[in-house]
Amino acid sequence: MLTKKEIVDILKDDSQNKELFELADKVRHDNVGDEIHLRGLIEFSNTCKCTCHYCGLRAENKTVERYRITPDDIIQFAKNAVNAGYKTIVLQSGEDVFYSKDIMCKIISEIKKLDVALTLSIGEKPYKELEAYKNAGADRYLLRIETTDKKLYKALHPFMSFENRKNCLYNLKKLGYETGSGCLVGLPGQTIESLADDILFFKENDFDMIGIGPFIAHPDTPLKNAPNGSLILALKVMSIIRILMKDINIPATTAMETLNPKGRIMALQSGANVIMPNVTMSKYRKKYEIYPNKTCTNEEIDKYKNYIETKIKSINRTISKDFGFRNI
């Protein structure tokens, strides 16, 4: 365990970054091994009712061409990904009420017939809905807290409630989901102290997965003029999380790769053990622009799998053939 002060000191001092990354890599090796889990990501709707100040898909961004993929097509994309060898499907969307409880349950139960693990990343939902999705077969749920700094949370999400988001995470745990959270690094107004609080929040709640991404300014958002977050700081936050939460799943995130072409490989060598390749049809991908230049925009499903396998082998790691649940 580390105290808040110790975490702050590590985050502020860059003289021992190499040692930090190496330690996180060793903890990853000793606890979750050398296998990398691939999760096939389907971005099925870019329609969103939220107005998060950093996000390109915010409701107030009128330049986005909105799309909704039909349930049949979502199920077909999932089949394609399973045929390509994916053992987990992640369904992600903006907060889009079009997909009612019944529609989602149908999609979930059809995908679960494919003998695959299923993760949802569809935002804050009432307890009853989360319960229905769990009963329909969903295994995991991703909901980043984004920041635990309440004032900053309020400033960036004027119409949302920090308490509601936290409760939603507690409900997910109570319902037996493998629960993922995470935060953005480098938001304007975010302090190192608040990043330390984020790390302690993840540890206290013993989440099963934590995704960390550097903030990347989107030109059609209120934060368009803010500087991007730092990849190194995001990697440091991720490494400390690996050291404190030895057996969880940690993705090398696309936002890291967007800031540096080697970003995901750096992450995999600093504590990460998961990659989430985009398996959505390419015509939709460009429209899912949470932040600009999202790297996955050019990945084709089969080609990308070959490419990532070669990369993974080059750093002496292998692709897992398991579902990749947390080893409890």
141 contacts ligand 5AD (rule: CB under 6 A): no
Q: Which two tokens mark 89?
A: 């499907």
Concatenated DSSP letters for 286-322?
TT--SSTT-GGGG--HHHHHHHHHHHHHHTT-EE--S
In the chain, the N- to C-terminal Cα span, in Å, equals: 19
- Residue 182 is given by DSSP the state E
Beta-carbon contacts of 72 under 8 Å, excluding residues fewer than 6 positions away, are none
Binding status of residue 289 toward ligand 5AD by CB under 6 A: no
Among the residue ranges 14-22, 40-48, 94-102, 214-222, the one whose residues contact ligand 5AD (CB under 6 A)? 214-222
312 binds ligand 5AD per the rule CB under 6 A = no
Question: Using CB under 6 A, which of the segments 29-37, 62-70, 215-223, 308-316 binds ligand 5AD?
Answer: 215-223
Could you give the strand order of the β-sheet that contains 35-38, starting from the edge strand earlier in sequence?
274-275, 35-38, 318-319
CB 185 to ligand 5AD: min, Å: 9
Structure tokens at 245: 């939460």
Does 69 contact ligand 5AD by CB under 6 A?
no
Is 39 a residue that touches ligand 5AD (CB under 6 A)?
Answer: no
* Interatomic CA distance for residues 224 and 183, integer angstroms: 19
- Closest to ligand 5AD by CB, 146 or 197: 146
Nearer to ligand 5AD, 111 or 187 (CB): 187
How far apart are alpha carbons 48 and 96 in whole angstroms?
5
Nearer to ligand 5AD, 123 or 324 (CB): 123
**Per CB under 6 A, 285 contacts ligand 5AD:** no
Nearest residue (CB) to ligand 5AD, 182 versus 324: 182
Pairing status of strand 140-142 against strand 117-121: parallel
Cβ neighbours, 10 Å, residue 189: 12
Least distance in angstroms from the C-beta of 55 to ligand 5AD? 4
User: What is the distance between the alpha carbons of residues 289 and 103, in angstroms, rounded to a whole number?
Assistant: 25
Token pair, residue 78, equals: 């999932």
H or E segment and range at residue 28: helix 17-32
DSSP label of 295: G
Closest CB 126 distance from ligand 5AD, rounded Å: 19
- Give how many residues touch ligand 5AD by CB under 6 A: 12
Q: Which of 7, 11, 42, 55 forms a contact with ligand 5AD (CB under 6 A)?
A: 55
For residues 62 and 109, is the Cβ–Cβ distance under 8 A?
A: no
Q: Which is nearer to ligand 5AD, 92 or 269 (CB)?
A: 92
CB contact at 8 A, 83 and 301: no
Which positions from 244 to 283 touch ligand 5AD by CB under 6 A, shown as an x/- string? -----------x----------------------------
Contact between 290 and ligand 5AD by CB under 6 A: the answer reads yes
Stretch that binds ligand 5AD, among 147-155, 166-174, 212-220, 319-327 (CB under 6 A): 212-220
218 binds ligand 5AD (CB under 6 A): yes
Residue 123's SS3 state is: coil
Residues that bind ligand 5AD (CB under 6 A): 54-55, 144, 146, 184, 213, 215-216, 218, 255, 290-291
